[in-house]
Chain A
């Protein structure tokens, strides 16, 4: 195992099972004959820690824009229903040319679920990683090779903390949460909800069975993110899909794709 980042052949990042080449070096950059008597000096750097990720994200954004592809970064806790929402989306949003990038720590289970419906899908396994980053997304795009005018739905690793920090080069961020998780999620994970362009509230068919204060959820969300629209859906029952598909169609249009309106 690599002592620097904990990666290994078993646990490193894989795109459809193949290891992604490491772009960072782990070489020993100095000899061990240090000269302690030399004087110290301070060098001003003033650079963003995530500058490299930001640059790669911009490169992805440019690549996507040139091909009129709308990339949507879908984030949530584990078990909120991201994959179920995607399954229904690829099955029913037939006016859109949808392709999918699945991010999980391990297993191709999610990609297999989406592929079963015939949709081009790439699985990224992050191994020890808790989020997708711009380099992984670029690797996923190379493997996926989406056609011009496509919509790339990215299912990020289930986690409401880390993915918020890493720009992938996506066009929009969707935060999904389900009523079974409790209404306090926006306040507990402000960073994630602050960056959302759309919030999707899933499993609304269960709202009468759980203690979910929907008014409080909306009020709290508005203190974190005053402008993101909220859509109520049940991905298993098909509730609210029309609004979700309409939003995706808008995204495809704003990327310059000639998407058909969807009227299920």
Chain B
């Protein structure tokens, strides 16, 4: 259940930047290959924000597909699959994005 640890990092990261401001919304980017489940994250976020400036904040999660470059045929492609294979069949790919876990913005009262 690393989503709890991830939620704590979100609370800490936001508090560090925003101080004592009351946060009513958080927008996250959770790449499809990040290894984090948005539903588990929502559950843990509620627990982790209790008694903090983020308590009750709405959580919006963007889940972009991964982007990759095939070293075999040179194609750039996107995928939502955990197993990143180029259409040419090659697994020799460089991941350009998809594992990211980012706090994009917060809504402040």
Interface residues, chain A, CB within 8 Å of chain B? 3-6, 24-26, 28-30, 34-36, 38, 40-53, 129-131, 133, 161-162, 164-166, 187, 190-191, 222-224, 226
Tell whether, in the assembled complex, residue B28 and residue A43 are in contact, meaning their CB atoms are under 8 Å apart.
no
B74 contacts across to A, CB distance below 8 A: none
Closest chain A residue to B17, Cβ basis: A45
A224 contacts across to B, CB distance below 8 A: 83, 91
Which residues 63-102 of B sit at the A interface, judged by CB distance below 8 A? 82-83, 85, 91-92, 100-102
A44 contacts across to B, CB distance below 8 A: 104-105
Smallest CB separation, A122 vs chain B (Å) = 21
Smallest CB separation, A14 vs chain B (Å) = 17
A164 contacts across to B, CB distance below 8 A: 35
List, sorted by A's number, 13 A–B pairs whose CB atoms are closer than 8 Å: A3-B50, A4-B11, A4-B50, A29-B19, A40-B24, A40-B109, A42-B106, A43-B107, A45-B106, A46-B105, A49-B9, A49-B102, A187-B83
Residue A34 contacts which of B15, B102, B109 (CB distance < 8 angstroms)? B109
Tell whether, in the assembled complex, residue B107 and residue A42 are in contact, meaning their CB atoms are under 8 Å apart.
yes
Closest chain A residue to B15, Cβ basis: A29
Tell whether, in the assembled complex, residue A190 and residue B101 are in contact, meaning their CB atoms are under 8 Å apart.
no
Known: A29-B20, A187-B83. Contact between A47 and B102, CB under 8 A?
yes
Tell whether, in the assembled complex, residue B107 and residue A40 are in contact, meaning their CB atoms are under 8 Å apart.
yes
Tell whether, in the assembled complex, residue B20 and residue A30 are in contact, meaning their CB atoms are under 8 Å apart.
yes
Tell whether, in the assembled complex, residue B2 and residue A162 are in contact, meaning their CB atoms are under 8 Å apart.
yes
B22 contacts across to A, CB distance below 8 A: 30, 34
A187 contacts across to B, CB distance below 8 A: 83
A166–B34 alpha-carbon span in the complex (Å): 11
A131 contacts across to B, CB distance below 8 A: 2, 5
A34 contacts across to B, CB distance below 8 A: 22, 109
Known: A40-B109, A45-B103. Contact between A52 and B2, CB under 8 A?
no
Smallest CB separation, B47 vs chain A (Å) = 8
**B28-59 Cβ-contact flags toward A at 8 Å (1 or 0):** 10000111100000000001101111000000
Residue B105 contacts which of A4, A24, A26, A43 (CB distance < 8 angstroms)? A43
Smallest CB separation, A167 vs chain B (Å) = 12
A45 contacts across to B, CB distance below 8 A: 13-14, 17, 103-106
